[in-house]
Amino acid sequence: MTATIDRIETFIVDIPTIRGHVLSMATMKTQSVVLAHVRFSDGSEGWGEGASIGGLSYGPESVESIKAAIDSYVAPVLLGLDGNRIAAASALTARMVKGNHAARAAVETALWDGLGRRAGLSVAQLFGGRVHDRLPVAWTLASGNSQTDIDEAERMLENRRHRDFKLKIGKRSVKDDLAHVGLIARAVGDRGTIRVDVNQAWSLSDARYGARGLQEIGCVLLEQPVVRDRVGDLKALTDGYEIAVMADEVLQGPADAMRVAAERAADVFAVKVCQSGGLAPAAEVIAIARAAGIGLYGGTMLESGLGSAAALQLFATVPEMTWGTELFGPLLLVDEILAAPLRYDDFSVYVPEGAGIGAEPDSDKLDFYRRDRARSVGA
Ligand code: MUC
Ligand code: MG
């Protein structure tokens, strides 16, 4: 049965975070995401999510630009096309809409969700089937205060929710950051692992000093320490130090993955569905890493449960997801917008059961948190 793409709606959703999330380039108190809802002619539907972090301080897209790109450019390209031909729809979108990866990812995810629901298959099955029923899930310590972070890590360990901790650094001096990481690493000890994400804040000389100090502390992973364009600097760090170096912001899809892999400029890829431009391009990034012997980590754009469920469907199909995931986005938010929350337990996040991405928003929550609704209520 044909399933023509009949309607594409987008909603900006603003949900407060449980505490300030202090990154090198922004302090988040709210996470804003775009939910894309696609309706097909046979009555089926699909959901997807596009997100960014800290407005435009993390990358080239904001939620406002994601929504505008979908409404004005992606949707007009797709309306009337066959929703069962995702490869054709994505090829046309890529031709008509350059960049705007999170916008494209939101709609592409909704197409996969719709196809899965119609077929009665999960998105993981559409991508070859699950290898994992659950994956390790890291937590980001980013309160801005070392003792608060230690207390938070203790709670996570005690509740068996997380034992891999990513520390957001790069806002203070390298020396102060090393002292901060050292305090937390000593407190966590052998009970977990410590990783850091600098979000491009360091110069190469900062990064050399930082990499040396971090590996002495026992930190196992150094994420995107230098600006995304400086692939040579990333490679110098990968070659020069024992600590594993992870590429994040530099990976804006398969072509970047190919460049970083060809230069062997990183040891690990943080794979992000939004940054890659969708589930299929993220699968290509993963394929390049696997072929190059580069490690894999399931990254997040701090998506809500919806985008996290979609990413989980893909990551669950990858045998070598050896660095685990950081799909903790929903846990950083004060409220859950899914009808049925993802399950977090025993240091893992579980792949949701059910067709498509295995998740959908609760309509009351969506009504409550959608930005346009909040405006009209306040007006
Ligand atoms: C990033 O840069 O990886 C992931 C976890 C977190 O706290 O922020 C993100 C973004
Ligand atoms: Mg990162």
Task: Say which ligand is closest to the CA of 302.
Answer: 1
The Cα–Cα gap between 234 and 343 comes to 35
Nearest to 78 by CA among 45, 108, 52: 108
- The values of phi and psi at residue 143, to 5°, are -80, -20
Task: Kindly tell me if the per-residue pLDDT of 23 is higher than 90.
Answer: yes
State residue 193's pLDDT score.
98
Angle at 48 between CA 45 and CA 53, to 5 degrees: 160
Position 373 pLDDT exceeds 90: no
What are the CA-CA distances from residue 159 to residues 140, 163, 190, 348 (Å)?
16, 10, 17, 12
What 3-state class would DSSP assign to 280?
helix
Residue 326, SS3 per DSSP: coil
Q: According to the model, what pLDDT value does residue 376 have?
A: 43
Q: Nearest-CA neighbor of 272 among 59, 94, 19, 65?
A: 59
Answer whether 5-121+363-373 and 125-350 agree in fold: no
Q: pLDDT value at position 377?
A: 40
**pLDDT per position as a tens digit, 261-305:** 999 999 999 999 999 999 999 999 999 999 999 999 999 999 999
43 pLDDT above the threshold of 80: yes
Q: Name the residue at shortest CA distance from atom 6 of ligand 1.
A: 140
What is the Cβ-side half-sphere exposure of residue 90, based on CA atoms within 13 angstroms?
20
Query: Does the pLDDT of residue 212 top 80, yes or no?
Result: yes
What are 213-241's pLDDT values in tens digits?
A: 999 999 999 999 999 999 999 999 999 99
Mean pLDDT of the chain: 97
Number of the ligand 1 atom closest to the C-alpha atom of 58:
2
Atom of ligand 1 nearest to the CA of 328: 5
d(CA 195, CA 207): 15
Q: Which residues have any ligand 1 atom within 6 Å of their CB?
A: 53, 140, 142, 168, 197, 199, 248, 299-300, 302, 326
Distance 224 CA to ligand 2 centre (A): 6
Q: Beta strand pairing status for 295-298 and 268-271?
A: parallel
Read off the pLDDT of residues 98-120 as tens digits, 9 standing for 90 and up. 999 999 999 999 999 999 999 99
Domains in the chain: boundaries:
5-121+363-373, 125-350
Give yes or no for a contact between 272 and 249, defined as CB atoms under 8 angstroms apart. no
Question: Taking every pair of C-alpha atoms in the chain, what is the biggest distance, in angstroms?
Answer: 62
Tell me whether 0.90 is exceeded by the ipTM.
Answer: yes
Handedness of CA 316, 138, 170, 292 (dihedral sign): negative
User: Which residues are annotated as catalytic?
Assistant: 168
Position 308 scores a pLDDT of: 99
Fold of domain 5-121+363-373: Enolase-like; domain 1 (3.30.390)
Q: Which of 48, 194, 201, 210 is nearest to 116 (CA)?
A: 48
- According to CATH, the topology of domain 125-350 is TIM Barrel (3.20.20)
